[in-house]
């Protein structure tokens, strides 16, 4: 039957009440959890003293690493200065 409040037919058979919207990640984006499970280098592999390569900054050395899991961050010294990265999202390659 018609919805008595709006005069319209119901658009869903879902029960009334709160409905949770579920959205997929936008195209091209990956969650940290998926990245960690993808077989990529473990975030624990990034340690102070190791050399890394970044597409924008070039080669650098890891100064320190803090945090755990997807919140693990590293301070890296490049020729252009020091940059801090969230490792789960950084485009870094270990080179030594």
Give CA–CA dist 32/25, Å, rounded. Answer: 12
pLDDT, tens only, 19-73: 555 555 556 655 555 555 555 678 889 999 999 999 999 999 999 999 998 899 9
**What is the reported pTM?**
0.60
| pLDDT at residue 41 in the model | 75
Place of tokens 């010294």: 77
Higher pLDDT, 86 or 7: 86
């Amino acid at each position: 039957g018609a919805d008595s409040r709006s005069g319209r037919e119901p658009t869903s058979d879902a029960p009334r009440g709160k409905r949770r919207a579920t959205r997929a990640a936008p195209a091209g984006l990956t969650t940290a959890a998926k990245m960690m499970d993808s077989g990529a280098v473990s975030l624990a592999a990034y340690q102070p003293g190791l050399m890394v390569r970044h597409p924008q900054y070039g080669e650098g050395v890891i100064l320190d690493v803090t945090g755990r899991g997807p919140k693990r961050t590293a301070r890296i010294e490049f020729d252009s200065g020091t940059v801090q990265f969230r490792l789960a999202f950084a485009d870094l390659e270990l080179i030594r």
